[in-house]
Amino acid sequence: MMSGFSFEVLAQDAGTAARRGEFRTPHGNVSTPAFMPVGTQGSVKGVTPAQLAATRAQMILGNTYHLALRPGAEVVRNLGGLHGFMDWDGPILTDSGGFQIFSLRDRMSLTEEAATFRSHIDGSLVTISPEEAVRLQEALGSDVAMVLDHVVQLPNTQEKIREAMERSIRWARRCQHAATRDDQALFAIVQGGLDRDLRQFCAAELVALDFPGYAIGGLSVGEPPEAMYEVLDYTVPELPEAAPRYLMGVGRPLDLLEGIRRGVDLFDCVMPTRNGRNGMAFTTRGPVRVRNAKHREETRPLDETCPCEACRHSLGYLRHLFQAEEMLGPTLLSIHNLTYYQRLLAETRAAIEAGQLTAFIEQIVAGWEAGNDDRQQDSLQE
């Protein structure tokens, strides 16, 4: 029996499936819907824990595969677990390595027993089975651990999608049987590509196993956004009302809003920091490409409504930092983007409580379209 965990729906939007909830964990509560910054290797790139906390981030994500390679899960455990290791006292979720089955498929071989990777660091072989994925995450000490699943690229053949979905169910059972910590919640992951029957079958099988939370995985891997929204339309209703729902690896602001509209509670993505490092900022006026020459003598900040460190400076100064290749530039834009995401989610929670989510989304999208001339906000997705 888990200790220290609960999830409660506090408000429901009047016209959509969106809900405002509270996810309670041993390391603090998370107001949902929530966005989790990605700290793959025990660090949200370029941002200190204090700076991260100042963005109002509530919960962050680490990656089991990468941390197992370097410095090793046992090293992290001996240095205080992931919370002590990276000096983050809030909730942490760890991905199991399932995404690497997709992203590192050229360096990976797969059997029913496990996935074996050739390390991108030194070429050594690393085998992660469902049981090993759980053992590693228990050593890391995250609040939420994910089952090991089989992620495939989309589009793909029906045979491969079905095979991966069925393996994900079998692996979820093995992970559940291997779990020993009562202070770590194990979330299942629904697979099935873009196939309604497969998604609903997978959801039913996993719900029958009674996990404390459920993720929707295998999306944002090549399919158009509209196809992802359709999957959410018929998958989310199959998941329990009393458990948090997590859409993995999805991070465009519009996709967050569309996921929330459909009843998703948790999100993660590298977009805020990756785009920030590459000179692109999210703002209430839409995306701003800081390197653009037209910003050379711009005196206004990135976003007049934003309280972050980056917005204390002129846009012209931020452009200078990138042109001069000063490391402060990527750090400031990463902080800004993380702040933007947390502000967007906080405002979304308030809109749900007021029963006005649809009007809020229309207002946000209108602001992006009316105020921006630096297009292509999705060009740097993971």
The answer to whether residue 95 is catalytic is yes
Residue 92 has a pLDDT of 98
Among positive and negative, which fits the CA dihedral 344, 348, 351, 356?
positive
Q: What is the pLDDT of residues 148-204, one digit of tens each?
A: 999 998 999 999 999 999 999 999 999 999 999 999 999 999 999 999 999 999 999
| Residues 148, 95: Cα–Cα separation, whole Å | 8
Tell me how far CA of residue 377 lies from CA of 279, 282, 381, in angstroms.
12, 8, 9
Q: What is the pLDDT of residues 104-143, one digit of tens each?
A: 888 999 999 999 999 988 999 999 999 999 999 999 999 9
Count the neighbouring beta carbons within 10 Å of the beta carbon of residue 214: 23
Q: What is the pLDDT of residues 332-347, one digit of tens each?
A: 999 999 999 999 999 9
- 95, 255, 265, 303: the active-site residue: 95
Residue 368: both structure tokens together: 């992006």
| Residues 341, 377: Cα–Cα separation, whole Å | 14
Conformational region of residue 137, where left means phi above 0, alpha means psi within -120 to 50, and beta covers everything else = alpha
Conformational region of residue 46, where left means phi above 0, alpha means psi within -120 to 50, and beta covers everything else = left
Count the neighbouring beta carbons within 10 Å of the beta carbon of residue 209: 13
| Residues 37, 337: Cα–Cα separation, whole Å | 10
Tell me how far CA of residue 136 lies from CA of 40, 59, 97, 118, 353, in angstroms.
15, 20, 10, 18, 38
- 13, 149, 265, 268: the active-site residue: 268
Q: Which residues pair with 173 in a beta bridge?
A: none
374 pLDDT band, cuts 50/70/90, is: low
261 in Cβ contact with 202 (< 8 Å): no
Residue 328: both structure tokens together: 């402060």
| Residues 286, 365: Cα–Cα separation, whole Å | 9
Helix 253-261 vs helix 328-353: crossing angle, to nearest 10? 20
Reply yes or no on whether the pLDDT at 380 is more than 80.
no
DSSP string, 280-342: EE--TTS-EETT-GGGTT--S-S-TT--SSGGGS-HHHHHHHHHTT-THHHHHHHHHHHHHHH
Reply yes or no on whether the pLDDT at 376 is more than 70.
no
Find, among 279, 381, 266, the residue nearest to 337 by Cα. 279
234 in Cβ contact with 200 (< 8 Å): yes
Which amino acid makes up residue 15?
Answer: G
Q: What is the pLDDT of residues 65-101, one digit of tens each?
A: 999 999 999 999 999 999 999 999 999 999 998 889 8
Reply yes or no on whether the pLDDT at 381 is more than 90.
no
Tell me how far CA of residue 121 lies from CA of 104, 117, 234, 360, in angstroms.
13, 11, 40, 46
What CATH number was assigned to the domain covering residues 6-269?
A: 3.20.20.105
Higher pLDDT, 44 or 102: 44
Q: pTM for the complete prediction? A: 0.95
| Residues 300, 311: Cα–Cα separation, whole Å | 9
Determine the length of the chain. 382
Residues of the chain with CATH 3.20.20.105: 6-269
Measured over all CA atoms, what is the biggest interatomic distance in the chain, rounded to whole angstroms? 61
Residue 120 has a pLDDT of 87
The answer to whether residue 378 is catalytic is no
